[in-house]
Amino acid sequence: MKRKSLTALLAAAVMAFAMVPCRAAADYDPKDADRDGDVDIMDVIFINRCLIGTHYVTDVSILDANENLIVDSLDSRCIMNYLVDLTYHVEFIDIVAEMEANAS
């Protein structure tokens, strides 16, 4: 009897979860912590403000930029690394394009 109740409860929970309209994780880049559509330094500031307690969010999962299920300073560092890499790659592409233009 108890096993059937537990199974029914589990099935109901799964069905309820499947029916809850929730925003898919793919809707936003996990590094877009403030969910404004852009990954920039403001996301780093947003996470840091939440970590030091000057800003609060109801869903802390939005702060998990590196998706390791832990919200900590590594999440803001993850975004900073992303931004530095992005800047580096853009500058590198510009340098290569300039070298190619000069070579021809």
Residues lying near Ca ion in the complex (CB under 5 A) are found at 32, 34, 36, 38, 43, 64, 66, 68, 70, 75
**Quick count: other Cβ atoms within 10 Å of Cβ 81?**
13
Structure token digits, residue 39: 């990954």
| Least gap, CB of 31 to Ca ion (angstroms) | 8
CB nearer to Ca ion: give 7 or 68. 68
Nearer residue to Ca ion within complex by CB, 34 or 50: 34
The CB-of-91 to Ca ion minimum distance in angstroms stands at 22
Percentages helix, strand, coil for the chain (3-state, rounded to 5) are 65, 0, 35
Separation in Å, CA 77 to CA 36, 47, 49, 64, 98: 19, 10, 14, 11, 31
C-beta of 16: minimal distance to Ca ion in Å? 27
When the beta carbons of 7 and 81 are compared against Ca ion, the nearer one is 81
